[in-house]
């Protein structure tokens, strides 16, 4: 999740052509979603 967010922030601040690359945006968005899911699952296991 943090890695995906870092990629998005990095691309945004550099203003590079990668911001128009759907592969980069999709990949970083997928990392954020996967990170959120893993985070939620781990927290549920800790609570249980």
Three-state secondary-structure class, residue 5:
helix
2-42 pLDDT tens trace: 676 666 676 666 555 555 566 666 777 777 787 788 888 88
Helix, strand, coil tally for the chain in percent (to 5): 90, 0, 10
Prediction pTM value: 0.50
Instruction: Quote the distance between the C-alpha of residue 35 and its chain's center.
Output: 7
């Amino acid at each position: 999740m943090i890695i995906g967010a870092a990629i998005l922030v990095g691309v945004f601040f550099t203003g590079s052509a990668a911001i128009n690359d759907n592969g980069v945006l999709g990949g970083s968005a997928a990392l954020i979603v996967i990170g959120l899911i893993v985070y939620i699952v781990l927290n549920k296991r800790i609570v249980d």
